[in-house]
């Protein structure tokens, strides 16, 4: 295995020549494995807020308008009496 960026062999004739680079390579592969499995091993916390169901601006506006309509209806009913 040749590391062209640093100009040297890491593994030659099935033997590790540069142990430091070999350890870096193994660590990168381990990190990739952990990252690939991150979704499987994620910790679920039932007390954590659900981030996928956050109300957007339109939903908030609709709630405000519904509240205003109820108030206006109450005012109109009070004026009719």
Q: Is residue 32 part of a domain?
A: yes
Note whether 57 and 32 are same-domain residues.
no
Q: Is residue 7 part of a domain?
A: yes
State both tokens at 48. Answer: 């954590």
Residue whose pair of structure tokens reads 């506006």 in the numeric block? 61
Q: Is residue 9 part of a domain?
A: yes
Structurally, how many domains does the chain consist of? 2
pLDDT digits (tens, 9 = 90+) for 3-60: 666 667 777 777 877 788 888 889 999 999 988 888 887 777 667 666 665 567 778 8
Q: Is residue 45 part of a domain?
A: no
**61: containing domain:** 53-80
Q: Residue 22: name the closest of 48, 2, 50, 45 by CA.
A: 2
Q: How far apart are CA 60 and CA 68, in angstroms?
A: 13
Using left for φ > 0, alpha for ψ between -120 and 50, and beta otherwise, residue 13 falls in left
Strand partners, 9: 2
In this prediction the pTM is 0.43
């Amino acid at each position: 295995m040749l590391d062209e960026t640093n100009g040297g062999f890491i593994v030659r004739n099935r033997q590790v020549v540069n142990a430091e680079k070999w350890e870096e390579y193994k660590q990168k592969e381990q990190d990739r494995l952990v990252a690939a499995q991150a979704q499987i091993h994620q910790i679920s916390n039932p007390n954590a807020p659900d981030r996928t169901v956050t109300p957007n601006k339109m939903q908030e506006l609709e709630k405000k308008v519904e509240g205003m309509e109820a108030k206006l209806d109450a005012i109109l009913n009070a004026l009719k009496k």
